[in-house]
Amino acid sequence: MKSICFYFQIHQPFRLKRYRFFDIGNDHYYYDDFANEDIISRIAHRSYIPACESLLKMIEQTKGKFRCALSITGIALEQCEQYVPEFIDLLKKLASTGKVEFLSETYDHSLASLIDPEDFRAQVKRHDEKLKELFGVTPKVFRNTELIYCDEIAPQLVDMGFKGCITDGAKHILGWKSPNYVYTAASAPKLKLLLKNSKLSDDIAFRFSNHDWDAYPLTADKYIDWIANTPQEEQIVNLFMSLETFGELQAAESGIFQFLEALPRFAAERGIEFWTPSEAVSKLKPVDTLSVVHPISWADEARDTSAWLGNKLQQEAFNKLYSVGERVRLCDDRRIHQDWHRLQSADHFYYMSTKKMGDGAVHSHFSPYETPFQAFTNYMNVLADFIVRVEEQYPLEIENEELNSLVTTIRNQASEIETLKKQLETARLNHEHLNEEHKQAKPKKAKTVKSKS
């Protein structure tokens, strides 16, 4: 039996306003509220809402046989709560069906997994707490920002309790192998991997309305035939894409929603089922281990991290941001923590990409800046002000050795406090237990009988 695993990403960053050099030290608010509200509202009504209404219809019409997964960043959820609350209500309806799995990821769509394991773990925890708060779900499968994955990340995910991770079926990693199987992580055998089938995913996400494509027009029955005709022994076809595919990247006029809604009917005719990622990793046995020494992603032809860290501008901004990580963790200023996390969004580094040869056009499509250099300058101005604020609390003159000693002291104190709390609780329970025993053991007073005179 062959299965399809659909996963859709929803993410929008907090975009930065035009921030000049002369604003440094004078203006501590960095965000373009007008653009953020306009973009999330427009995309939600053109794409997210109608797409999720289609998913809900597909679940109802198939009586739950259609299933899929959604991965939504915490900062996208924040914006939806603020500007498009009706979309949150729709997501709650999808969650209530029990047929839509919500995946874990970094709260801020960050690259922390590549440089800061402590903050990476904290962001994942914050994200999962947000999902629990809004939808009452606890994720079991993880997808990293832009499907970034490598051997170094896998043990961290197992330690966090995840059973599976989804990433890209990059050709330079797979070689002759097919992405249409479940694999296990070489560095953490307990973690199962689901790999994106790039060709079939991109047929929908990027080629669906391309009149120059030799397979145009793409119909639901033709597409399901392609999946059915993959080698019989191949277990699962993972179709991973942004939810913006429906209504934004591919306009509603192209017939993309009708195409999506027709897929379950033709899949049923060919005996193809729909599974969530959790179902896939629980039902299917891995066919092999997969080692990924250097980080991969689902971006560009290279399928690496060069879309965000491929040039000197990106690397300088990235390293400068994370250089104050320890100091930020010591701060108790809520606004500093909020800005620290929002500045970590991978989008800010993506806008600085100078990649050409076809990739450049894709990068510029999503950027609000005219050039990568403008994106870099604006970001570094904001970052300069942010670092000034951090330095006011923990000066950069403090040597790393001294700072590390301070961090160690604080952590030790926190550990000691936690230990004392446990000891106090144990003492309290023992005291209550002794009191109860004392009450039970205390002899009852004998009743005095009055003599009749």
Catalytically active residues are 146
Are 46 and 38 in contact, with CB atoms under 8 Å apart?
no
Are 83 and 22 in contact, with CB atoms under 8 Å apart?
no
Q: Which residues are CB-neighbours of 143 under 8 A, at least 6 positions away?
A: 7, 9, 71, 103, 104, 105, 165, 166, 167
CB under 8 A, 24+ apart: contacts of 43-46: 43/12, 43/244, 43/248, 44/80, 44/83, 44/84, 44/87, 45/84, 46/247, 46/248, 46/252
Reading the block at residue 412, the tokens are: 């030790």
Are 292 and 151 in contact, with CB atoms under 8 Å apart?
yes
Q: Which residues are CB-neighbours of 21 under 8 A, at least 6 positions away?
A: 381
CA 37 to chain CA mean position, Å: 21
Q: How far lies 428's CA from each of 151, 432, 434, in Å? A: 46, 6, 10
Count CB-CB contacts under 10 A for residue 236.
25
Distance between the two ends of the chain, CA-based, in angstroms? 97
Helices vs strands, H then E, count in the chain: 19, 10
What does R_g of the chain's alpha carbons equal in angstroms?
Answer: 27
CA 188 to chain CA mean position, Å: 20
Q: How many residues does this entry show for the chain?
A: 453
Is 383 exposed, middle or buried, given 0-12, 13-18 or 19+ CB atoms closer than 10 A? buried
Are 94 and 49 in contact, with CB atoms under 8 Å apart?
no
Give the DSSP letter of residue 192.
E
d(CA 208, CA 361): 18
Question: Locate tokens 């003599």: which residue?
Answer: 451
